[in-house]
Structure 1
């Protein structure tokens, strides 16, 4: 299958889906489309709630495209690369509608940032999480504000430092990333749909005002996440990271 970002609107529920054949590791073009789609769909009057999902059964999101990562040769290109997830997170933050996350499988790096940026997140028991950035000589600088906001500094630092380990979905639920964890994709999808339909019965204005409250204190994230992207863009050019990346080529 080819990579895509697409959306569908039915009865006030907008479903935004993304996919990339390489375990949903997302190149800059897909991240840009995703951010733009979230913004566009979120501003549609007929949309009352958004479901965010990915295609495939095994991996929700494996982070950013490794193929693009290993081609970075200067700091500006690096900053642009790492700004991909920053732009998605900021689009989700600014979206006036509640975003329900549907996490069917493992999620890594930037994928954890997307899950943490949803307003309500449901997952399967297979949706383990990992922040692997330290393994290649960088860090989860861009996504850590979103993860810290949802899970706290302690949980975020635990998975950031223990960069080799997948943490089970039950752990992520305990730390607040997931609201519910289901035994199967089918059970999760049924719950996500029912929950979205129920949200459509709420006052849209009240939900919009609540979302503002939920994200209070993040007005500086346009600047903050750009600064974090620049840090990663610089570190990816370090001798340590260059040598590490050679092992993966």
Structure 2
């Protein structure tokens, strides 16, 4: 089974006094997401969506350099067949669909780099704030696979032109300002301290907002995405097939050797 890899990392979740649900990805130093963390992340999002005490959900990650490096290379390397491959990528599909359908406004604090599935997370929240260090890259094509599962979320946020730019230019980083200009980030700050100061003020405003109005905004924002579960399941199968090719396996081995 592909879950033989050690159960590293943790998803922390808590509710603060201001009706804020806080979810923290903690798998340092790169905050990559193996299958068990994807499952925990999905559960945390859906549980907070069902909690009437929560008005807004903040998604963040631990450490000081990388927001999220996407798929775990240990997890990718351990995939043995198409069924396991599809199930691994379905982890990302379920997380994105949880962010889409949880019923609460979701906000991301992107303090550092985002790669692959990390860009997918930034795309699937309703509002993303970043520091200038939050450069982004979709590296999947360089691994002989592709950002198929996260594609609907990324394309929805930055358009087909921006998505194709990232997907086909798989080895080059784009700056946080580039991401802001395309609509992936709504705000970009010079320092993490400035990011956190503004984020605190921004989140405090939700205390005065109508929960009913916020829920209706959420529904409005995501109109037209009802077919995503089906689309992403098909895309997960695509990725699961490609990750088993000799070219993909060799690319993954090279990356793991460098790590």
TM-score normalised by length of structure 1: 0.97
Equivalent position of 2:237 in the other structure: 230
After TM superposition, give the deviation of residue 7 of structure 1 in Å.
1.5
**Counterpart in the other structure of 1:79:** 86
Superposed displacement of residue 185, structure 1: 1.1
Q: Which residue of 2 aligns with 1:102?
A: 109
Distance in 2, matches of 1:43 and 1:186, equals 31
SS of 1:5 mapped into structure 2: strand
1:92 corresponds, among 99, 105, 111, to 99
User: Aligned residue for 1:5?
Assistant: 11
- For 2:150 and 2:120, how far apart are their aligned partners in 1? 5
Shift of 1:22: 4.3
Alignment match, 1:47: 54
Aligned equivalents of 1:156, 1:26: Cα separation in 2: 22
2:5 paired residue number: none
SS in 1 for 2:114: strand
Cα distance in 2, alignment partners of residues 168 and 90 from structure 1? 26
Provide, for residues 218-242 of structure 1, a one-character-per-residue CA deviation record: whole Å limited to 9, x for no partner: 1111111111110000011122212
- Structure 2: unaligned runs, 5 residues or longer: 1-7
**Would you say the 8 A contact 2:119–2:138 is kept in 1?**
yes
Deviates more, 1:17-26 or 1:155-164: 17-26
Displacement of 1:18 in angstroms is 1.1
In structure 1, the residue matched to 2:166 is 159
- Unaligned 5+ segments in structure 1 are none
1:64 to 58, 71, 74: 71
Give the corresponding residue for 2:212.
Answer: 205
Deviation of 1:199 (Å): 2.1
- 3-state SS of the aligned residue for 1:152? helix
Q: Is the partner of 2:119 in helix, strand or coil? A: helix
Distance 1:80 1:219, change over 3 A: same
1:21 aligns with 2:28: yes
Task: Give RMSD over aligned pairs.
Answer: 1.0
Partner of 2:130: 123
1:242 matched to which residue of 2? 249
| 1:51-106 CA-partner distances (Å, limit 9, x unpaired) | 11000110000001001101111000000111111111000000111011100000
Alignment of 1:133-144 (within 5 A): 133-144=140-151
Query: Any idea what SS the aligned residue of 2:157 has?
Result: helix
Q: Distance in 1 between matches of 2:211 and 2:128?
A: 19
Q: Do structure 1's residue 180 and structure 2's residue 183 form an aligned pair?
A: no
Identify the residue that residue 195 of structure 1 maps to in structure 2. 202
Does structure 2 conserve the Cα–Cα contact (< 8 Å) formed by 1:123 and 1:169? yes
**CA distance in structure 1 between the partners assigned to 2:253 and 2:56 by the alignment:** 44
| Range that drifts further, 147-156 or 234-243 | 234-243
Contact 1:100–1:192 (8 Å) recurs in 2? no
